[in-house]
Structure 1
Amino acid sequence: MAWSSSQQPLGSPFGPDATADEVLAGVDLRGRFVIVTGGHQGIGFEATRALAGAGAEVLVGARSPERAAGKVAGIAGVEVDQLDLVDPASVDAFVGRRLAAGRPVDVLVNCAAVAAPAERTIDAYGHEIQFATSHLGPFRLTLGLRPLLRAAHGARVVNVSSGAQRMGTIRWDDPDFTEGYSPGAAYAQAKRANVLFAVELDRRWADEGIRGYAPHPGVVIGTNLNNRPEDREAYREQGLLDEEGRPVIDPGAGKKTPAQGAATVVFAAASPLLDGIGGVYLKDSEVSVVDGEDRPLTADSIPADAHPDSVDPEAARRLWELTEKTLGL
């Protein structure tokens, strides 16, 4: 198996405890237009805030524009538009409004996600909800915005992934888990798909000036995706919450605040250190090493380096073709 020669550390000055603001210090994004899906909550909100703080104009795509507008109120340069990633009509309408406006898109951050349901949940088209929200919808959105990304003459597409990509397997014959559903397996499949999508997008579109990235934010407890009461005992067992139920912050072990989690996302979106590099999985504001060893998850260790299968170009091509067929594109 081969993967991109760029998938190796480049010597980033930022460590695991860096925040989004620190990563963007000295980066001037004035005149840049950024779209962040789910940019009104959790890691997405911190990315939105930091990117706007560096001068970018940010458009947040959200299922509930009214709710999202309340969350980002007061942040200069941020607007909100309706976008439901599991509804193709909503995605196409969002794309249509952007194409009509005609403004080039410098950065697209595919950040929106959904909490893993205990029971198999599907969208209106029969697709498993995590795969639909984290991969199928963003794929449709990204392809629709391609003319505006191309027009930016140096655009970036950022698919927010997770260290769970190491455990993910693309169920080529049953990605919708019609049999053998597991919340964790479905989540890991979606996160591996985020990386493979970035790898193949970069191969196909780099010549058009569009580069792809898949950052791992770290484990951030307290967002809407992982703050359900029924999950908290498991988080204690995993060393993610202390006995009082407070998040354990240990960036070196991958346990981060939202601001620290957003650091690698904005690193992918805007750091000049990545100029000329694409199709890579990122961790701790750095290009990750590739590690195929079987490393167990413990309370003190959360393996999150790129797995060889997550950056496999053949699997990336296969997923792209499967996704096009699934969506009828």
Structure 2
Amino acid sequence: MTHKQRPIGTGFTPASTVDDVLAGVDLTGKNVIVTAGHSGLGLVATRALSRAGASVVVGSRDPERAAAAVAGIERVEVGRLDLMDPASVDAFVARYLESGRPLHVLINNAGYAAPAEIVRDARGYEAQFATNHLGHFQLTLGLHPALQAADGARVVNTTSGAQRMSDILWDDPNFTRGGYDPGLAYAQSKTANVLFTVELDRRWAGDGIRVFAAHPGVVATTSFNSAVGVAPQRAQGLIDDAGRPVIDPERGKKTEAQGAATIVFGATSPLLDGMGGLYLNNCDVSQLNDNQPAPTAQEVTADVVSHSVDPKSAERLWHLTEQLLTRTCL
């Protein structure tokens, strides 16, 4: 399989921040949507994009909470968006299209961290797959007219180094036959983010829409990682004995400003002009590495692996996703 996963030498480092990658970038007049742009890495990205001049729409299941979080940030508005509810996704899309605004950047950032016991949406779909992949797929396709109207747009799918841990569970992606494993479900959803990136870019590059998957690194202070509890975080080397976050970007452990940098890099950097369908890590294109060691408490490896960028799998996932969404929209 040929691939495009080769670093391009951006000059950025694992320690680069959102302000570093946005230096000299003027987003005045640009419209951006950030799902879950009111918390964690999404909030850091929203603030940074606003500082660079962009107008940002934040999609959130809890608009009141989101509005409070983004209060005072210039040119930011909030819209209700529940990615596990197809009607909510359609309503969000309709509101944006009715505004007549082109969409220059879509950041599919929201994620669902499932508890130990399986959670399903109203359709019976596993919550992480439904939120992290299916909902964002539906949202992105619905927003195609606005992205195309931008005459040069980008879509960024926030993924994770966990993509290396599992391919798509093709025979049972929603764990209907038992054997649920929350970590496996998460890894599958993050692989889906990358495969969606590959196929979406193939289909939409001709419309001037380029697509990237961004791995932010491991950020101990995000709600996703802090929710696992103190003992697991300490065992993973994310916090020290005093409970303070361990910051070691060279080994994949980052601040929120460093983690969001790769997301913002994918959304805005002119260094990526003419490119797409790529997995980004440390503000550069990731190398393909199928021989990276398992993550340890000292180091988190996060290069992309072959199953996450396989074009045949990407097309297969596209068709599976269409079937799953159509099945529930009849």
The TM-score with structure 1 as length reference comes to: 0.97
Query: Over aligned residue pairs, what C-alpha RMSD do you find?
Result: 1.0
Q: Which residue of 1 aligns with 2:16?
A: 18
Deviations 1:197-241 (A, max 9, x none): 00000000000001110000000112222222x532111111111
Deviations 1:77-115 (A, max 9, x none): 111111110000000000111111111100000000112
Shift of 1:252: 0.3
CA distance in 1, matches of 2:262, 2:42: 12
After superposition, residues 233-244 of structure 1 pair within 5 angstroms as 233-244=231-242
Matched residue SS, 1:225? helix
Q: Higher mean Cα deviation, 155-164 or 166-175?
A: 166-175
Letter in 2 for 1:175: P
Q: Higher mean Cα deviation, 98-107 or 276-285?
A: 98-107
* 8 Å Cα contact 1:2/1:313 also seen in 2: no
Unaligned runs of 5+ in 1: none
After superposition, residues 13-92 of structure 1 pair within 5 angstroms as 13-92=11-90
Q: Which residue of 2 aligns with 1:202?
A: 201
Q: 1:309 aligns with which of 302, 307, 310?
A: 307
Matched residue SS, 1:314? helix
Matched residue SS, 1:203? helix
Letter in 2 for 1:315: S
CA distance in 1, matches of 2:209, 2:80: 25
* 8 Å Cα contact 1:20/1:47 also seen in 2: yes
Q: Which residue of 1 aligns with 2:224?
A: 225
Q: Which residue of 1 aligns with 2:183?
A: 184
Shift of 1:300: 1.5
* 8 Å Cα contact 2:115/2:182 also seen in 1: yes
CA distance in 1, matches of 2:82, 2:299: 35
Matched residue SS, 1:226? helix
CA distance in 2, matches of 1:241, 1:12: 30
CA distance in 1, matches of 2:15, 2:92: 35
CA distance in 1, matches of 2:250, 2:175: 34
Q: Which residue of 2 aligns with 1:162?
A: 160
Shift of 1:294: 4.7
* 8 Å Cα contact 2:26/2:52 also seen in 1: yes
* 8 Å Cα contact 1:52/1:77 also seen in 2: yes
* 8 Å Cα contact 1:115/1:226 also seen in 2: no
* 8 Å Cα contact 2:226/2:233 also seen in 1: no
Matched residue SS, 2:106? strand
CA distance in 2, matches of 1:14, 1:251: 12
Letter in 1 for 2:195: L
Shift of 1:116: 2.6
Q: Higher mean Cα deviation, 111-120 or 274-283?
A: 111-120
Letter in 1 for 2:209: I
Q: Higher mean Cα deviation, 216-225 or 140-149?
A: 216-225
Identity %: 61
Letter in 2 for 1:2: T
* 8 Å Cα contact 1:36/1:59 also seen in 2: yes
Matched residue SS, 2:33? strand
Deviations 1:122-157 (A, max 9, x none): 000011000111000000000000011111111101
Shift of 1:180: 1.2
Shift of 1:296: 1.3
The answer to whether residue 98 in structure 2 is matched with residue 100 in structure 1 is yes
Unaligned runs of 5+ in 2: none
Matched residue SS, 1:108? strand
Q: 1:137 aligns with which of 120, 126, 135?
A: 135
Q: Which residue of 2 aligns with 1:213?
A: 212
CA distance in 1, matches of 2:229, 2:182: 12
CA distance in 2, matches of 1:58, 1:98: 12
* 8 Å Cα contact 2:225/2:233 also seen in 1: no
Deviations 1:256-303 (A, max 9, x none): 011110000000000000000000000000000000115111112211
Shift of 1:244: 1.0
Q: Which residue of 1 aligns with 2:110?
A: 112
Letter in 1 for 2:146: L
